[in-house]
Structure 1
Amino acid sequence: MKPIIEVKNISKEYRRGAQKEQYLSLRDQVFKSFNPSRKKETFMALEDISFEVYPGDSLAIIGKNGAGKSTLLKILSRITPPTKGEIILRGRLASLLEVGTGFHPELTGRENVFLNGSILGLGRAEINRQFDAIVDFSGVGPFLDTPLKHYSSGMQLRLAFAVAAHLEPEILVIDEVLAVGDSAFQQKCIEKMTEVSKSGRTILFVSHNMQAVRNLCETGILLENGIMSQKGKIDDIISSYHNDLIKSESVTRLDNIESRKGKGHLIFQKILIPNQINKPGEKIKLGLQLKTIVPGLYQNLDFGVAIKDFLNNTLIHVSNKYISYEIDHQNDSDIYWFEIENDLKSGNYSLTLFIRASDEIEDWISDKIFIEIGEGNSYGYSNTDEIQGMIQPGFNFYLNYHGK
């Protein structure tokens, strides 16, 4: 059986600071030829990438931000050409890379469905056969004859995914764009992609949601700084990805992190973690220092800390509100401490931090701080290898218990 996708020694080079070429008059062109601009620095977004995907495979492409995932998908989708190398596709490919990709804002939802079908090479009869299913899945039926420019980003996403999934391309390419949708729709999409995969079609999937990746894909590739560092079973790829995160992204200074949410008037400045490695049963201590960006009175603050596994499951969530501890922020030199009971088993975990003032999120940081729970325990377990699940609680066991 021939692979449905062959990627052969793909490289992509970009110029830093490169801008889209503007229209130049003849005079401008002549002037530019005698006054060449300074040579811009280049960098390799992808370098010598090779792999094969067979019909019916679901392949995850995993890596940190800037690793080259989206660039690779754009090359596969023929949106941008490679600088070097070759790609062979043996089937129709539909891609969902950005909200609105392939849609025309002035056309209605109905017209865009037929436009996308035409781009995939389908006839009107083939599109009509799937039309009702597309509308039903997307849930935009009441707005079907409304121009797309009046759709919200969520509505555009639902329609775009419905079109890509139901028009039966042999290859379906999905980027992190699904993060735009609500959790119920994300789950609906994952179920549909599973159905698509079982029907024998091929899926390439990029996501930071490792639970979704694991549920959908059996194999994956790991990208690091534009280089494919590993290809193999999805569990091995996820493990390598997490180990890389632990080594490179654990931070104590927080005010320089760019990917955060919230109003940003009051933000996290530092996190203090006295013990980088805690044993199961030992309390986890976290100190949080704030930084005032916009001077003001910040009263009745709500601090939140969530500890998550690398499948993005929240295992512990604590807040000063849970114990009715009211805080007014007075001084940026103050440090607010959490002391958290720890029944986690050994492994690596990520932290999500948020601060809310007057019921509005001021700052939210996720997947940038990591802690490790080491081997051993404080409860006298003699066989920790047998523990199932993520929690390692203290407990007792009795024969003929009578309440004594």
Structure 2
Amino acid sequence: MAYVELKSVSLSYPIYEGSARSLKSAVLRGVGGRLSQEAGRIEIQALRDINLTLTPGDRLALIGHNGAGKSTLLKLLAGIYEPPVGQVIRRGTVSSMTDIGLGLDMEATGTENIVSRCVFLGMTYVEARRRLAAIQEFTELGAYLDMPIRTYSTGMLVRLAFAASTEMRPEILIMDEMMSAGDMSFAEQARKRILDYVQSASILVLASHDMNILTSFCNRAALLEAGTITKLGSVEDVIEAYKNSRTR
């Protein structure tokens, strides 16, 4: 049974040679959390004392201003980051869709990239090879799959990455914004595929600035402010709290 639990999790980033005012200003603009400074080092506390439990059927929306800690929390839930403080418990297969193009080799062919992307997401090479034909067909890229992907247009790259990334059906799905698949001619079959992909997951965690998407797909929500969950509840209640926080 899929299960995720965060117990008193905190995560900080040290930045050395950080005494310059310009660097501190850049960090404040681009990263959430809180800053502390010691001996020429800036410490960015990206997440502070996060407690969260997710069980089958949970569809959690992450809501917050830019830099509030949403992306860091997604990466921690996906296992990309491990916290120095606190504990993360995960049970079930996990797939992170925070960057569907991550790991693509521009000198390799489309077919080679499909296999490597599937393995990166947790399949064995045997399973990736078994699913290869179906993924190739879905891309509609034909003979281009035998060419290096550096020759692809942006739309073709998106098709390739999208098809490979959504072939696996994880128990725990982590997403940063809802994926799109580029050109209009591909949009309808991509829309159906992403709906099936999201609905098949036992647990979904989705960060987005589109409140309509969050309301449609999620049944719980967490509001992040400066790396802390300040409200956890229904999507509607958390959206209202978020709107109120923007007027303060």
Fold shared, TM-score > 0.5 on shorter chain? yes
Q: How much does 1:207 deviate?
A: 1.4
The structure-2 alpha-carbon separation of the partners of 1:238 and 1:135, relative to structure 1 and needing over 3 Å to count, comes to farther
The one-letter amino acid of 2:104's match is F
Counterpart CA distance in 2 for 1:195 and 1:242 is: 31
Give the total of aligned pairs: 229
1:85 equivalenced with 2:75 (yes/no) = no
Q: Deviations over 1:279-300 (max 9, x none)?
A: xxxxxxxxxxxxxxxxxxxxxx
The structure-2 alpha-carbon separation of the partners of 1:170 and 1:17, relative to structure 1 and needing over 3 Å to count, comes to same
Q: How much does 1:17 deviate?
A: 6.0
Partner of 1:8: 7
Partner of 1:228: 229
Counterpart CA distance in 2 for 1:76 and 1:130 is: 27
The one-letter amino acid of 1:7's match is L
Percentage identity across paired residues of the two chains = 36
Is contact 1:165–1:172 with CA below 8 Å preserved after alignment? no
Is contact 1:7–1:52 with CA below 8 Å preserved after alignment? yes
Partner of 1:169, secondary structure, is coil
Q: How much does 1:126 deviate?
A: 2.7
Partner of 2:74: 73
The structure-2 alpha-carbon separation of the partners of 1:242 and 1:187, relative to structure 1 and needing over 3 Å to count, comes to farther
Partner of 2:169, secondary structure, is coil
Q: How much does 1:129 deviate?
A: 4.3
**Consecutive unaligned residues in structure 1, runs of 5 or more:** 20-36, 249-404
Counterpart CA distance in 2 for 1:131 and 1:218 is: 34
Partner of 1:144, secondary structure, is helix
Partner of 1:178, secondary structure, is coil
**Consecutive unaligned residues in structure 2, runs of 5 or more:** 19-37
Q: How much does 1:62 deviate?
A: 1.4
Once the two structures are superposed, the pairs formed by residues 116-155 of structure 1 within 5 Å of their partners are: 116-155=117-156
Counterpart CA distance in 2 for 1:93 and 1:99 is: 14
Q: How much does 1:89 deviate?
A: 1.6
Is contact 2:103–2:117 with CA below 8 Å preserved after alignment? yes
Q: How much does 1:170 deviate?
A: 1.8
Counterpart CA distance in 2 for 1:188 and 1:17 is: 48
Partner of 1:265: none
Partner of 2:157: 156
TM-score by length of 2: 0.77
Counterpart CA distance in 2 for 1:52 and 1:141 is: 44
Counterpart CA distance in 2 for 1:179 and 1:16 is: 34
Q: How much does 1:51 deviate?
A: 0.8
Q: Deviations over 1:288-336 (max 9, x none)?
A: xxxxxxxxxxxxxxxxxxxxxxxxxxxxxxxxxxxxxxxxxxxxxxxxx
The one-letter amino acid of 1:143's match is Y
Higher CA-based Rg: 1
Counterpart CA distance in 1 for 2:97 and 2:214 is: 16
Q: How much does 1:192 deviate?
A: 3.3
Counterpart CA distance in 2 for 1:149 and 1:232 is: 45
Partner of 1:41, secondary structure, is strand
Q: How much does 1:176 deviate?
A: 3.0
TM-score by length of 1: 0.50
Counterpart CA distance in 2 for 1:63 and 1:186 is: 28
Q: How much does 1:99 deviate?
A: 5.1
The one-letter amino acid of 2:236's match is D
Partner of 2:42: 41
Higher helix proportion, which one?
Answer: 2
Counterpart CA distance in 1 for 2:156 and 2:208 is: 20
The structure-2 alpha-carbon separation of the partners of 1:167 and 1:230, relative to structure 1 and needing over 3 Å to count, comes to same
Once the two structures are superposed, the pairs formed by residues 116-265 of structure 1 within 5 Å of their partners are: 116-176=117-177, 178=179, 181=182, 191-245=192-246, 247-248=247-248
